Structure 1
């Protein structure tokens, strides 16, 4: 029987050897994408309320990065005393911003999802994903905090009420920022994506990989 193909550069393998790697998210999409790197990690969903005042941030990118950082800090504080190895915590958050600059997170109801989708119809929206790493560094009393953000443009076709209603009935919009999931049914009415596809799914794989490479070059992993 042919063995499964694995993509595991040396520094990726060293990550789990040196650290207790923790994904501070319950998102099945982030878990699946991170698993592609063949990293041994644990999932500890953040308990951060995600209630930051959006009006206090100059840009949506600032808001999403700070939310990711709060998620990572929450998990780091709760897990640190129980971990034998140094910690490597991955926090992430995704928001969608409509053409008017309004941040769209997960809908509160079917009606909210329908209204959101009608507002995105025929327009371009921006998807921002913030990533925050909290890494225990040798010979340092404080962990290193590394933050970044990825942005991707998503262009919608025109959606009539029947399409919107049918999509909302699938239940798919319920736990999705912006009320849609391109990797599933929304792929039928998203005309174009400009940027990282996986960022729209919920985790910017290439950006995260570059973060790991930078940490490797610094001798941290």
Structure 2
């Protein structure tokens, strides 16, 4: 058990109930995102990371019937319920972030050409970043999982970007795993003129909203230990 806000990693199958330590469990973060791990660690909440959750996210390019916010919720909830089946006695947090411009989803770029095209499209415009977050509570055998969560929205406005500015940014920042082809926490001042809403939401998890959610679930007490 870790009480300093640092993460440990669980195998996909989790820990059997017989080996669980008594008392409250650390939060189980079902996410491979290092940004989300850093945000949860910054809250001082003890947590572990669940590895290998076998859920296939609905791809941005397959987003025909869902709005960007609905797509984020679909993916976050799907990961949460899958993790709950593997770790039924744990409290689990999942999230998914979607970047969109005029309701068109801008996913992770397949290559540099796609990244350049995304940044050209965002240049001088205001786009929307939506992060869905889901908290699943421990589920006794035979019961359906109980969960809560929401979708946080942040508006982000870019500077007008020249081709040279786009090239400099992509030379400096690896955006291959970044929705929208940028990371606001990595040289974001070169791209972003302003935001309206939560900064951490653009990073990958709205810390203010998630902190309240975890506090309501009893995790604030962990910070006081």
TM-score between the two structures when normalised by the length of structure 2: 0.80
Tell me what 1:77 maps to: 85
Selected match of 1:93 from 73, 93, 96: 96
Task: Please list the CA deviations of residues 50-70 of structure 1 after superposition, one character each: whole Å capped at 9, or x if unmatched.
Answer: 12542122x211110111011
Runs of 4+ aligned residues of structure 1 deviating over 3 Å after TM superposition are 137-140, 213-216
* 2:53 matches 1:51: no
- Residues in 2 aligned to 1:139 and 1:112: alpha-carbon distance in whole angstroms: 46
Task: Please list the CA deviations of residues 154-210 of structure 1 after superposition, one character each: whole Å capped at 9, or x if unmatched.
Answer: 000000111111212224211111011111112222000100010011101111122
Tell me what 1:10 maps to: none
Distance verdict in 2 for CA 1:17–1:36, change over 3 Å: farther
Task: Please list the CA deviations of residues 13-40 of structure 1 after superposition, one character each: whole Å capped at 9, or x if unmatched.
Answer: xxx9523421111111100000112222
- Residues in 1 aligned to 2:215 and 2:46: alpha-carbon distance in whole angstroms: 17
- For structure 1, the residue ranges without an aligned partner over 5 or more in a row are 1-5, 8-15, 81-85, 217-221
Decide which moves more: 138-147 or 198-207: 138-147
- Residues in 2 aligned to 1:200 and 1:65: alpha-carbon distance in whole angstroms: 16
- Greater helix fraction, Structure 1 or Structure 2: 1
- Residues in 1 aligned to 2:125 and 2:210: alpha-carbon distance in whole angstroms: 28
Q: After TM superposition, give the deviation of residue 44 of structure 1 in Å.
A: 1.6
- Residues in 1 aligned to 2:23 and 2:180: alpha-carbon distance in whole angstroms: 37
- Residues in 1 aligned to 2:24 and 2:207: alpha-carbon distance in whole angstroms: 21
Q: Secondary structure at the match of 2:150?
A: strand
Maintained 8 Å contact 2:100/2:129: yes
Tell me what 1:205 maps to: 207
TM-score between the two structures when normalised by the length of structure 1: 0.81
Tell me what 1:130 maps to: 132
Decide which moves more: 122-131 or 46-55: 46-55
- Residues in 1 aligned to 2:31 and 2:185: alpha-carbon distance in whole angstroms: 19
Task: Please list the CA deviations of residues 86-141 of structure 1 after superposition, one character each: whole Å capped at 9, or x if unmatched.
Answer: 3111110001111x210112111111101000000000010000001111157982
